[in-house]
């Protein structure tokens, strides 16, 4: 005799609840239990999303030094090692000039294998997915320009998925300026700077590439007075951790769990989880925004930040420079 099945879950039983009518709880199928257990056992960020990557990120606030000390590019070069550095100029309207600048800078820092990833259009990338570009690569570096140029050309393509897998398996992704903004799952594209954020001020946000979750990143931060717009972005969704990076300043993120600051400037961390009130939905559009009980941390070189606990850790700056200088043999 054929067994009756529940149309929703395929378990033997009578009607929708299977054995529940007999006082027995339904058991989750073994395979589903195993998957569920593996997901719940993953470490989670403070915003709730599981950590799934084993790779590293070097997120740069723009205008990093390309000569002299060049601490940030030294860190990128150190991670290239004997592998290959892929320089992706997807964000800029002048890819050849950008490529020449970085080829010169990284060659001077001892990088021996470099490859230029330049894509004229999304259509071109769909025709030729450049499957060989990641062969032997240890770092992918996104240059500056316009962040929407990266996501609209690159997002959702086969190459984009390959880079995601490269990162999940332990590769390093670096990005400066626009290349930094695309790292988060929510990307801040534009908004007014140099003034207090007003309720009616337009902030353009869009989905990013999602290498670092539960965050939103802004760059050229102190130089362009962007604290107001980052506060405005966090107030719109306090789940997101706001990260504002000064120029010639970077964070090195390890496995989405912790980051360390390198460079000359500061990193501003805006944590809105404890936000108790805002007037964003209550007042006229020309009114200045109010936000209460937002936490602000300011970190400099050597300091670290725990992305799970959302807590900073004070660290010494000098050993960072000594370590990078020694790593590059200079």
The domains found in the chain, sorted by start residue, are 46-327 (3.40.50.880)
Alpha-carbon distance of 22 to 11, in angstroms, equals 15
Contacts for 293 with CB less than 8 Å, ≥ 6 apart? 274, 275, 276, 277
pLDDT computed for residue 283 by the predictor: 74
Contact indicator for 179, 143 with CB cutoff of 8 Å: yes
Closest by CA to 252, choosing from 150, 327, 330, is: 327
pLDDT computed for residue 18 by the predictor: 42
Contact indicator for 244, 226 with CB cutoff of 8 Å: yes
pLDDT in tens, the chain (330 residues): 444 444 444 444 444 444 444 444 444 444 433 333 344 455 665 666 666 678 999 999 999 999 999 999 999 999 999 999 999 999 999 999 999 999 999 999 999 999 999 999 999 999 999 989 999 999 999 999 999 999 999 999 999 999 999 999 999 999 999 999 999 999 988 877 766 787 777 788 999 999 999 999 999 999 999 999 999 999 999 999 999 999 999 999 999 999 999 999 999 999 999 999 999 988 788 899 999 999 999 999 999 999 999 999 999 999 988 888 766 554
pLDDT computed for residue 13 by the predictor: 43
pLDDT computed for residue 47 by the predictor: 60
pLDDT computed for residue 2 by the predictor: 42
Alpha-carbon distance of 63 to 144, in angstroms, equals 9
Which residues carry out catalysis? 177, 195, 220
Q: Is 312 exposed, middle or buried (0-12, 13-18, 19+ CB in 10 A)?
A: middle
pLDDT computed for residue 45 by the predictor: 59
């Amino acid at each position: 005799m054929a067994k009756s099945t529940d149309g929703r879950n395929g378990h033997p039983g009578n009607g929708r609840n299977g054995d529940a009518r007999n006082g027995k709880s339904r058991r989750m199928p073994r395979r589903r239990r195993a998957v569920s257990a593996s997901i719940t056992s993953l470490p989670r960020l403070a915003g709730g999303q599981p950590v799934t990557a084993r790779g590293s990120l070097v997120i740069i606030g723009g205008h990093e030094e390309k000569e002299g000390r060049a601490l940030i590019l030294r860190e990128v070069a150190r991670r290239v090692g004997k592998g290959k550095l892929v320089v992706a100029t997807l964000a800029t309207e002048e890819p050849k000039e950008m490529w020449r600048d970085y080829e010169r800078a990284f060659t001077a820092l001892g990088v021996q294998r470099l490859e230029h990833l330049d894509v004229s259009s999304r259509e071109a990338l769909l025709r030729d997915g450049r499957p060989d570009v990641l062969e032997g690569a240890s770092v992918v570096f996104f240059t500056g320009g316009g962040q929407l140029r990266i996501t609209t050309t690159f997002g959702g393509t086969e190459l984009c998925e390959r880079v995601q897998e490269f990162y999940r398996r332990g590769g390093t992704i670096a990005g400066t300026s626009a290349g930094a903004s695309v790292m988060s799952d929510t990307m801040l594209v534009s908004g007014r700077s140099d003034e207090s954020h007003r309720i009616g001020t337009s902030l353009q946000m869009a989905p990013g590439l999602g290498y670092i979750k539960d965050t939103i990143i802004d760059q050229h931060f102190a130089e362009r007075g962007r604290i107001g717009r980052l506060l405005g972005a966090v107030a719109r969704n306090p789940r997101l951790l706001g990260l504002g990076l000064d120029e010639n300043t970077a964070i090195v993120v390890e496995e989405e769990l912790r980051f360390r600051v390198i460079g000359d400037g500061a990193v501003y961390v805006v944590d809105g989880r404890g936000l108790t009130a805002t007037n964003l939905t209550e007042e006229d559009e020309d009114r200045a925004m109010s936000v209460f009980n937002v936490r602000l941390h300011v970190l400099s070189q050597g300091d670290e930040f725990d992305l799970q606990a959302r807590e900073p850790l004070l660290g010494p700056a000098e050993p960072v420079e000594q370590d990078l200088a020694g790593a590059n043999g200079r």
